């Protein structure tokens, strides 16, 4: 059984969309979305530098656009399940048919702007903890006033909070943690610091008419599968200020009988986690069009 997954913020790198523009129709599609949401996706995906695409309001729609064009380039594909990490959930919702591509881009553009506004209130950030016992690490973070914003499985937790709190964490790592790595994000996402963005996103979501998913959809909130489109949108809204439980998503993949995991562009992060947490599961990260043939072969071998 094949699971299709979409990465979250931090996966973007300068120029990562450049090779995709060589595919027929991709540039036209990106320019149409750019006009619709008021953001030049072609420029930011090809010519912008790392600091520019670190901006939350730019990174989020850029990642969803990349996920959608790379999924479309695979051709007809119906995975057994679909999920996304953080903003990748918007890609997953579109792939599952809950939102149209246009609605997903419009809503994620509003999400990015709202989260950037919330992040500007206080200087905050996120850092990944590598190694250690999750229970020990979570208790340690709470003592420092930090939130375990992403519990990713495979020994990785992402802490979020103020820059002062993160500096204290770097000096005082939890027992067993090998390294604390600052992430290239512009705020403490999936924490109470993002509460102002929830209201803005909820208001924007009122304009949508979501459909029930055509593909099994696995939610970041608790790793559960969700069968109602309206509930999926509600979860997309609330997830802005809730921790991402990717560990529970991977547990659900196991329960569903996953045999292969394909991560859409810009792939790499989630396949890395899967290699450690889902031994025996075939993985493939879709980075450039050069990976499409291998991805299609994986789909053919593992689709029902």
Domains of the chain: 2-120+191-302 (3.40.366.10), 124-182 (3.30.70.250)
* Residue 12: pLDDT over 70: yes
When pLDDT is averaged across residues 95-99 and rounded to a whole number, the result is 98
Give me the residue label for tokens 């850092």.
Answer: 127
Instruction: Write the CA distances from 156 to 15, 62, 77, 102, 136, integer angstroms.
Output: 27, 25, 30, 33, 12
Kindly state the tokens that stand for 164: 């002062």
Burial class (CB in 10 A: 0-12, 13-18, 19+), 285: buried
* Residue 272: pLDDT over 70: yes
When pLDDT is averaged across residues 205-221 and rounded to a whole number, the result is 96
User: What's residue 262's pLDDT?
Assistant: 98
**CA–CA distance, 77 with 53 (Å, rounded to integer):** 29
User: What's residue 154's pLDDT?
Assistant: 74
Task: List beta partners, residue 249.
Answer: none
**CA–CA distance, 136 with 103 (Å, rounded to integer):** 41
User: What's residue 185's pLDDT?
Assistant: 79
When pLDDT is averaged across residues 162-172 and rounded to a whole number, the result is 95
Write out the catalytic residue numbers: 86, 190
The pLDDT mean for the chain works out to 95
* Residue 193: pLDDT over 90: yes
Least confidently predicted of 39-48, 151-160, 195-204, 251-260 = 151-160
Burial class (CB in 10 A: 0-12, 13-18, 19+), 35: exposed
When pLDDT is averaged across residues 129-134 and rounded to a whole number, the result is 90
User: What's residue 296's pLDDT?
Assistant: 96
State what percent of residues in the chain have pLDDT above 70: 100
Least confidently predicted of 23-27, 103-107, 149-153 = 149-153
H/E stretch holding 247 reads helix 246-256
Contact 260, 282 (CB under 8 A): yes
Residue 66 burial (CB count, 10 A)? 26
**CA–CA distance, 107 with 105 (Å, rounded to integer):** 6
* Residue 304: pLDDT over 80: no
User: What's residue 208's pLDDT?
Assistant: 94
Of 171, 283, 176, nearest to 157 by C-alpha is 176
Q: Answer whether the bond into residue 266 is a cis peptide, omega within 30°.
A: yes
At 85, give phi and psi (nearest 5°): -90, 115
Kindly state the tokens that stand for 18: 């450049």
pLDDT tens column, 40-71: 999 999 999 999 998 999 999 999 999 999 99
Q: Which residues contact 207 (CB under 8 A, 6 or more apart)?
A: none
């Amino acid at each position: 059984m094949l699971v299709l997954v979409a990465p979250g913020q931090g996966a973007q790198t300068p120029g990562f969309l450049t090779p995709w523009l060589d595919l027929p129709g991709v540039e036209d599609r990106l320019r149409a979305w750019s006009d619709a949401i008021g953001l030049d996706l072609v420029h930011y995906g090809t010519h912008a530098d790392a600091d520019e695409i670190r901006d939350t309001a730019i990174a989020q729609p850029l990642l969803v656009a990349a996920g959608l064009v790379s999924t479309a380039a695979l051709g007809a594909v119906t995975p057994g399940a679909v999920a996304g990490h953080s903003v990748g959930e918007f890609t997953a919702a579109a792939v599952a048919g809950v939102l149209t591509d246009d609605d997903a881009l419009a809503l994620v553009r509003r999400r990015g702007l709202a989260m950037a506004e919330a992040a500007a209130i206080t200087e905050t950030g996120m850092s990944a903890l590598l190694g250690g016992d999750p229970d020990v690490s979570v208790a340690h973070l709470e003592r420092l006033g930090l939130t375990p914003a992403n519990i990713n499985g495979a020994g990785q937790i992402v802490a979020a909070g103020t820059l002062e709190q993160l500096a204290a964490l770097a000096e005082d790592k939890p027992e067993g943690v090998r390294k604390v790595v600052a992430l290239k994000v512009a705020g403490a996402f999936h924490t109470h610091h993002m509460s102002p963005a929830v209201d803005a996103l909820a208001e924007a979501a009122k304009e949508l008419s979501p459909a029930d998913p055509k593909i099994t959809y696995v939610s970041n909130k608790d790793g559960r599968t969700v069968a109602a489109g309206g509930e999926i949108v509600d979860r997309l809204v609330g997830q802005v200020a809730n921790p991402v439980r990717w560990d529970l998503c991977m547990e659900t993949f196991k329960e569903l009988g996953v045999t292969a995991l394909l991560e859409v562009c810009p792939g790499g992060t989630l396949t890395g986690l899967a290699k450690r947490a889902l031994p025996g599961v075939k993985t493939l990260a879709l980075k450039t069009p050069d990976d499409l043939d291998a991805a299609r072969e994986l789909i053919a071998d593992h689709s029902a």
